[in-house]
Structure 1
Amino acid sequence: MNRPTLLAAAAALLTVTPAMAQDAMPQSALVLKRVTLSTGGVGSFEYEARVTGDATLSLEVRRDQVDDVLKSIVVYDDQGGVGTIGLPGAEPLDTAFRELPFTSGDLGSPAALLTALKGAEVETDGARALTGRVLSVTEDIVQTANGAGTTTRHRVSLMTADGIRQLILEDADGLRFTDPRVRAQVDAALSAIADNARRERRRLSVRSLGNGAKAERTVRVAFVAATPLWKATYRLSLPAAGSATSATSGQPGVGALQGWAILENLSGEDWRDVDLSVVSGNPVTLRQALYTPYFVERPEVPVEVLGRVLPTSDEGGVALAQTRGMAEAAPLRAAAMAPAAMAAPMAKSAPYADAAPPPPAPAPQAAAVHSAEASAADTSTQVLFRYPQPVSLVNGGTLMMPIIARALPTERIALYQPNTQPRHPLAALRLRNDSGTALPPGLLTFYETVNNAPTHVGDARMATLPVGESRLLSFAVDQAVTIDRAEQPSRRLTRASIADGALLLTVSDRQTTTYTVAGARDGDRNLVIEHPRRPGWTLVEPKETTVEATANAYRLALPVPAGKTVTLTASLERPRQERILLTDLSADQLTIQAASQELPAALRDALLKLASLRAAVAEKERRIADIERDQQERVAEQERLRANLTALPVGSDLHKRTLAKMGDAETRLDALSRDLTAARAEAETARASLRERIRGLTL
């Protein structure tokens, strides 16, 4: 570019005023010269004009593009300087009514306008010619002449020299304001409304400063605005099967690839002989409502009255000695900053180097390359395709622009994706990009030569294809190959130990999948199986190092001879640990663990001994439970005898026998209490022995 000068929005964008409209500078129209469309949903539009001396360049844009224009507009001037850019306000109609005594809504009817201009002097024509100031306008609802309904009429009251006079507004032949200033205000408001109805576009005025230069120079103005997303599509033509350049199973061939960019011109103006480019990438594109006026909320403080004091809040202070030191250092800092401040751009800008010429059209790479193919250039984040010839496209039109035409290496494969088709693989091609530039994503249509004529065999979706990489493009279901899949989960103990009272087991979970493939009768297949990846699992079979991994699958290659049945086994493993507290296991659970043949013999013997100790503890605990249950029964029996004793006559035989039974029950309860104490002591001894054994066990 020739001398880029980026404009700060706060300093360069000024609202056009009537005074500016009368500027004496010559008006020159900017002509669209270059268009670049991006997959970020925006387009760059560059305009040019030849000017001499000071000039004002006009540029019209759609109303909905103004925010983007304010955000991105840039001016390039190879010899002169950049002035200001002006455009009408965002709401010109509101601005027009801001100083008027009525609103746009008051122009909806004569009655509303008279009400808004109450006090203005008017004069009427007709049978009752009156002159006076508007006092009021009221509605009257009256019957129609035939009595079938009602109608609304407006009664206008005027203050005249003879007092208050009234007239029916609908009966007056004419009514006008006597004050020329009021008539001018109404006329200006009506003109603003009519003009606003036509203003779907905004005209920008770009001021270019000649800075005394007399020679003619070029001024460029560019901006970025929202555009429809351009789309890439491809056609891949394959030679006839069996030809020297055809791709067979496991053998690469070549295919003729054509790429096209489909784009629309919805910019609001026709493109005439523009330099057209498309860019593929994933840029950050933002928008902001810069054309909408915003007002800052300000805090309201009370009105000061006599005797009222509003002290400010204290924010602390600095010691005087420190302040003096800072003040002495300030001139030194100012002197150090002075060169940088003086380097700021002045009104007259220094000339820049001339812009580099546009890149030349690419030379044909092969006989199949069309002469009008777009030239491609890679950047760090995008790929640009530039059409070598001027392009014309009417507003609202659609265009197809070629972006690539060359032969690329291809290989036929059968791609098995279980989630896409569980029984048959997909007919696919492996396409490698050796074109020297990345290819954007898009749909791809396959053609194959059959009987010396191209025949459509399917479509595919192609992701972004960087230089030197390949993509698998599936275009049909290969019904001639059948695949059966069987899954078998298993578990294997790899390590066991006892420490800190816990049994530590390292277990390896394995998921084994066996693929049984029945080959096609019509020829060999180079099958690629996409085996699903699982987080935390590792592929352990097959062990070949040529396995290709995608984000969600492993790609396993399997040659399938014609008419043969072959198998492939894929295994995933995941290690995990189990920690079992030995104190939480019962004797039966310990016995089950000891019965596992995966455990070493020493560990099984230790678990059996723990099971014996745990059984002894359980036996003691059962003895305690039996004694406690017997105690509860004796207590219940004693309560029953005590209740019976209160109901029997004292000294009777039954009374005496009941007393004897109560004595026996008390004796039995004493014995049970002694037995319970002894049983609890024995159980605690057994538990302590078990805990000690577990605590000291390390294997």
Structure 2
Amino acid sequence: MRRFGLLAALLLTAAPALGEAPIRSVTLFEAGLAEIVREGAPGGAGAPLELTVPEPQLNDLLKSLVIRGDATGARVRLDGSARVEDAFGRLPLGPDRIGDQAALLDALKGTLVTVSDGPRTGPVSGRVMGVTRPDCGEGAGCHPLLLLQAETGLLTVPLAPGRQVRIEDERLRDRIGRALDALALAGSGSDRTVRIEADGAGPLALSYVVPAPVWRTAYRAIGGSDGGMRLQAWAVLENVTGADWDEVRLTLSSGAPKTLETDLTSRGWAVRETFEPPAPQARAGLLDLDSFAPRAEMVMSLQAAPAAELEAGAELTDRGLDSRFTFPDPVDLGSGEMISLPFLTEEVPVERTLLWRGRLTDRTGSPDLVLRVTNPLPIRLPAGIMTVSDADGYLGDAAFPVLVPGAQAEVPFGADQRVEVRERVTARSAERRVTLSGGLLRITERRVRTVEYRVSAPAGETPALTIRHPSEPGWELVRTGPGPAPVPDEADPSSLRFDLPAGTGLLRVEETRPVLEAVAIGDLPRDRLIGLLTDRIGPEDRERLERILEARDRLDRLTAERDALLSARARTVEDQERSRRMMDAAPAGSDMQGRFLSAILELEDLIGETDRKGEALQAEIAAAETDLDRLLRAE
């Protein structure tokens, strides 16, 4: 039974006992989800099965809840999203004044109440007219209650301490009780109570998916004196389900299922058109406002799933979507507590080696200390942090990647300062060829790159070492040596792997890459064309390139002559115009006027001769352009 305070306790009757729904199993996903399974049976006398969940999990519970068992007509009930506002919306004052007796009675004008002092005096009944508040300080009688009695008329009753006031309207008492109920639930924190109702009386299994902190993996790679390596995986997790785990079957999943977030509990109101009523008219009666009041509970019905028993998962399973690790022993964990549990201990194939990752740049450094781990299990190993140790103690930390069944990974955990690797890169061009076709100049060359890896150790003989050489697109391996041939690199398919035995101090890798450059011959400057004559070029292409150079030189010479001729004509036209102005200024019939006229006629002849030469040059330029274009376009 809920506690509403003294007034509410007088209004309510005891409810049927609720059935418990404890958590029986939890599956934690690396994607940040938890699948929770609860089991229980509804209580007697039709009481529902009840569970308490944190407020942030409510929408996900309503979205994913599945009910298994002998249940028909299943329903899910829970308090609405604004229960306090709804409850106080039917009262004449808000929740901040509900504890003020004088304010409450003053707001209940017209309500029938009975005031009594218990067995000492008889009760006094009447309708509330209001509560006066004279300035009389503290003490009895400072808040007299004004009542209207049918027999005696107005009556003033002081609200003295200990004086009892009973509200006679049963429906009003019920509304006040509901308001106090809502306040009590609002003050209980962020937990929400969900009640499962079903027509059947047998046990039910309730499963749903809610957000949860990501569980993390911490590996231990422990080496023994015999050189073997044992891999141990610990899970670090937290219980935020809102309930204690008592004998819970716990499963860890490495899956990342797609999950959507939605809001199923917030209120959404449809927009409606406003209706303007006609002019007020006499009405036959009053509306019963209570019949239109919104309910403080939200009801949702779910179709129960067919009866099914929970499957007992194997300790290690892979379902394609994920790999699962189920603890053989039940787990106890209080709400809000964390725990770290080992979920895997296996002897796995582990090879300890030195690794140098090539970068195709000149540099010097020490190789990485690496564990080459192979996953022999039928499940995927999740990513996590790894601590490496041997019989002598701690060696270092490493980042362990996701490892699918049968796959191999190289996990570096430090650097071997006793070994030095010098990486040097040289590049050159070879077999440069030049061809002409369709106005394009095609330059083909083969670029050669040589990378040397020199290994040295102060102690003398160099240790065994793996070199990972980047394999770039377009480059082809020509030769390597001294040392072994490369092998495919499972850990990095974009690289070549060289496993150098002890005592190997040098690895040389030579690669080649063809490069093709195609440019329009007409876009190249003259000096670039002359330079191409010194390259490796065939006799026919060389002859054609020489003819192109001759045609371009002829065209450039003719164009220069035309430009010079046009400049000379412009100067002649300017001289003629000046002589014409001087002639116009000279006295009519004078010798000066005659001399300027003779000059004008001579310049006119010169302009005509220049125009004839220009036409001839333009014809030669057109012919030269045609000849050059023919040479450029020839195949």
TM-score range normalised by the length of the shorter chain: 0.7 to 0.9
Aligned to 2:374: 432
**1:554 and 2:492 are equivalent in the alignment:** no
Aligned to 1:269: 243
- Deviation, 1:678, is 0.8
**1:281 and 2:266 are equivalent in the alignment:** no
Distance change >3 Å, CA 178–CA 55, structure 1 → 2: closer
| Gap runs ≥5 in structure 2 | 1-11, 116-126, 136-143, 150-157, 279-301
Does the residue aligned with 1:256 lie in a helix, a strand or coil?
A: strand
Find the aligned partners of 2:310 and 2:114 in 1 and give their Cα distance.
Answer: 69
Does the residue aligned with 1:45 lie in a helix, a strand or coil?
A: strand
Q: Check the 8 A contact 1:426/1:478 in 2, yes or no.
A: yes
**1:472 and 2:410 are equivalent in the alignment:** yes
Aligned to 2:518: 579
Of the three residues 313, 327, 330, the one matched with 1:387 is 327
Aligned to 1:693: 631
Q: Check the 8 A contact 2:446/2:512 in 1, yes or no.
A: no
- Deviation, 1:523, is 5.2
Aligned to 1:63: 55
- Deviation, 1:505, is 3.9
Write the mapping of 1:173-572 to structure 2, written as runs, cut at 5 A. Answer: 189-210=179-200, 217-240=202-225, 245-246=226-227, 254-298=228-272, 300=273, 356=311, 358-359=312-313, 375-417=315-357, 423-450=365-392, 455-491=393-429, 497-507=435-445, 512-519=450-457, 521=459, 524-532=462-470, 534=472, 536-541=473-478, 544=485, 546-548=487-489, 553-559=494-500, 561-562=502-503, 565-569=505-509, 571=511
1:86-113 per-position Cα deviation (integer Å, ceiling 9, x unaligned): 2222221122123334444676989998
Find the aligned partners of 2:132 and 2:624 in 1 and give their Cα distance.
Answer: 110
Distance change >3 Å, CA 498–CA 480, structure 1 → 2: same
Find the aligned partners of 1:23 and 1:205 in 2 and give their Cα distance.
Answer: 17
1:476-516 per-position Cα deviation (integer Å, ceiling 9, x unaligned): 11222222333344455676543333234455555544333
Distance change >3 Å, CA 572–CA 59, structure 1 → 2: farther
- Deviation, 1:637, is 2.4
Find the aligned partners of 2:523 and 2:81 in 1 and give their Cα distance.
Answer: 77
TM-score of the superposed pair, with normalisation by structure 2: 0.76
Q: Check the 8 A contact 2:68/2:307 in 1, yes or no.
A: no
- Deviation, 1:684, is 1.0
**1:603 and 2:595 are equivalent in the alignment:** no
Tell me the C-alpha RMSD between the 2 structures: 4.3
Of the three residues 18, 36, 51, the one matched with 1:27 is 18
- Deviation, 1:85, is 2.0
- Deviation, 1:295, is 3.0
Q: Check the 8 A contact 2:66/2:304 in 1, yes or no.
A: no
Does the residue aligned with 1:525 lie in a helix, a strand or coil?
A: coil
- Deviation, 1:446, is 0.8
Does the residue aligned with 1:483 lie in a helix, a strand or coil?
A: strand
Find the aligned partners of 1:293 and 1:414 in 2 and give their Cα distance.
Answer: 63
Of the three residues 25, 40, 46, the one matched with 1:49 is 40
1:212-232 per-position Cα deviation (integer Å, ceiling 9, x unaligned): xxxxx5422222221111111
1:125-168 per-position Cα deviation (integer Å, ceiling 9, x unaligned): xxxxxx9867999xx9xxxxxxxxxxxxxxx9x9999xxxxxxx
Does the residue aligned with 1:209 lie in a helix, a strand or coil?
A: coil
Does the residue aligned with 2:197 lie in a helix, a strand or coil?
A: strand
1:173-195 per-position Cα deviation (integer Å, ceiling 9, x unaligned): 89999985578756654553244
- Opposite residue 32 of structure 1, the aligned amino acid is I
- Opposite residue 220 of structure 2, the aligned amino acid is R
Aligned to 2:9: none
Does the residue aligned with 1:380 lie in a helix, a strand or coil?
A: coil
1:590-647 per-position Cα deviation (integer Å, ceiling 9, x unaligned): 33333322x2222122111111122111111111111112112222322333344444
- Opposite residue 487 of structure 2, the aligned amino acid is T
Does the residue aligned with 2:579 lie in a helix, a strand or coil?
A: helix
Distance change >3 Å, CA 347–CA 649, structure 1 → 2: closer
Find the aligned partners of 1:528 and 1:600 in 2 and give their Cα distance.
Answer: 46
- Compare 270-279 and 648-657 and name the one that shifted more: 648-657
Find the aligned partners of 2:17 and 2:455 in 1 and give their Cα distance.
Answer: 80
TM-score of the superposed pair, with normalisation by structure 1: 0.70
Does the residue aligned with 1:281 lie in a helix, a strand or coil?
A: coil
Q: Check the 8 A contact 2:433/2:535 in 1, yes or no.
A: no
Distance change >3 Å, CA 283–CA 271, structure 1 → 2: same
- Opposite residue 354 of structure 2, the aligned amino acid is A
Q: Check the 8 A contact 1:106/1:116 in 2, yes or no.
A: no
1:49-84 per-position Cα deviation (integer Å, ceiling 9, x unaligned): 25699663221111221111111111221x454622
Aligned to 2:614: 676
- Deviation, 1:302, is 7.4
- Opposite residue 567 of structure 1, the aligned amino acid is L
1:397-434 per-position Cα deviation (integer Å, ceiling 9, x unaligned): 22121122122222222222357996222111211122
- Deviation, 1:557, is 1.2
Q: Check the 8 A contact 1:530/1:553 in 2, yes or no.
A: no
Q: Check the 8 A contact 2:410/2:491 in 1, yes or no.
A: no
1:19-73 per-position Cα deviation (integer Å, ceiling 9, x unaligned): xx98987632122221221111111221222569966322111122111111111
Does the residue aligned with 1:486 lie in a helix, a strand or coil?
A: strand
**1:86 and 2:77 are equivalent in the alignment:** yes
